[in-house]
Amino acid sequence: MDTESVIEFLGCVPLLQRLPSSSLRKIAEVVITKHYDRGEFVVHEGGLGDGIYFIWEGEAEVVGSGTVEEESRLEFQLKRYDYFGHGIGASVQQANVIALSKLTCLVLPNEHCSLLQPISIWNADKALEACPLVELILHLEPIEVNIFKGITLPDAPKFGKVFGGQFLGQALAAASKTVDCLKIVHSLHAYFLLVGDFNMPIIYEVCRIRDGKSFATRRVDAIQKGNVIFTMLASFQANLILQKEEEGFDHLVATMPAVPPPDMLLSLEELRDRRLTDPRLPRTYRNKVAAKPFIPWPIEIRFCEPNNATNQTKSPPSLRYWFRAKGKLSDDQALHRCVVAYASDLIFLSVSLNPHRRKGLKTTSVSLDHSMWFHRPLRADDWLLFVIASPAAYNARGFCAAQMFNRKGELVVSLTQEGLIREAKSKNPNAAVAVSKL
């Protein structure tokens, strides 16, 4: 068996799907192949374990010293992609494992079991402190198979609550770490249910709805204080071109609008500095900007049409800007799509408020749902053009549709978002704190 076939097999083992692809390659290089005949003992109860066994082909059965009801025997039968020995290390085996047919196992020796505990879910070789901030934000701690824990870092954007893009990116990261490494997300649909508390961890629970040869479907629930506060449905597709199975049909009608290249535009930091001294802007606005603490985002943004408008200036319901992650991201396409999902919520829904802005207007807005379709491979640490338009707003809901293009002019992502947009009411100090986003 060749290394690529072993990597593909390991990527289908639930225990290993949370690992970076580089870890799977290292494991593929050190596993030992063992063959057993029907009825042969794979491990003996009380014996020392050689490592972690992954069933490549055939079936086996776990037989302990206790009695097992006949109807429960299926629970102790092992087949392809099942594994045993994890967590036992060099200690004694707790049960016999016997081959029910001709059996082939890949064994990860005990001395290499540290490969199962990489520093990051995105890169096994890079220290966390060397990762860009957005990669750290999207790092999750695997708790169990299908369960992950995320946190809000002190330097992460918060906006008074858990940032919606953080939910999108972290939930997609959790889902991505439950499918084999040859499948990549092609669409997602998410709902923001309750406001998140950035002072406490977020538990992401993944439900494996379907696993097919070409497609896999996952549902992810984000949980705080026992409540589901965010939910996502994501679909993953195998890379057919990479597998050389079929090329599929290919056409591209969407065209990227003519905009200045990002190198000719001002960064948010430069734009802010210029606005502080721009005499065309009201003095009160400039003083307010100067007094507000400036916290850099982990995403670099450059507006295609910088102007002297403020958040109280009426403007068309459209926006175009370039964006990219700050720093060099790890080479994992799943990570790059998670970063794009994260960045997509930074400046999106607010475009639906543009035609309604006026002096003295104060508004509140929260995302309700968010959908994305990934058309082509992309890199989130290279410039992407975000083209947004809001075709409608009604009944306190604003709707936005958008496209993302790479620098070659290819459409790489399509998006929609709907959110609640309201004129802010004067605060009542005696009112109870609302938990719901509505």
For residues 190 and 168, the answer to whether their CB atoms sit within 8 Å is yes
The residues facing 234 across adjacent strands are 188, 218
For residues 206 and 153, the answer to whether their CB atoms sit within 8 Å is no
Catalytic residue, chosen from 50, 332, 345, 381, is: 345
Q: Cα separation of 40 and 76, whole Å?
A: 16
In the structure encoding, which two tokens stand for residue 52, read together? 């972690």
Question: Is there a catalytic annotation at residue 367?
Answer: yes
Q: Cα separation of 213 and 201, whole Å?
A: 34
Chain centre distance of CA 115: 22
Catalytic residue, chosen from 367, 381, 390, 403, is: 367
Catalytic residue, chosen from 22, 170, 176, 417, is: 417
Question: Is there a catalytic annotation at residue 417?
Answer: yes
Taking each helix axis from N to C end, the angle separating 164-176 and 333-343, rounded to the nearest 10 degrees, works out to 160
Q: Cα separation of 86 and 65, whole Å?
A: 20
Q: Cα separation of 204 and 147, whole Å?
A: 6
Question: Is there a catalytic annotation at residue 22?
Answer: no
The three-state DSSP-derived secondary structure of the chain is: CCHHHHHHHHCCCHHHCCCCHHHHHHHHHHCEEEEECCCCEEECCCCECCEEEEEEECCEEEECCCCCCHHHHHHHEECCCCEECCCCCCCECCCEEEECCCEEEEEEEHHHHHHHCCCCCCCCCCCHHHCCHHHHHCCCEEEECCEEEECCCCCCCCCCCCCHHHHHHHHHHHHHCCCCCCEEEEEEEEEECECCCCCCCEEEEEEEEEECCCEEEEEEEEEECCEEEEEEEEEEEECHHHHCCCCCCCCCCCCCCCCCCHHHCCCHHHHHHHHHCCCCCCHHHHHHHHHCCCCCCCEEEEECCCCCCCCCCCCCCEEEEEEEECCCCCCCHHHHHHHHHHHCCCCCHHHHHHHHCCCCCCEEEEEEEEEEEECCCCCCCCCEEEEEEEEEEECCEEEEEEEEEECCCCEEEEEEEEEEEEECCCCCCCCCCCCECC
Catalytic residues: 345, 367, 417
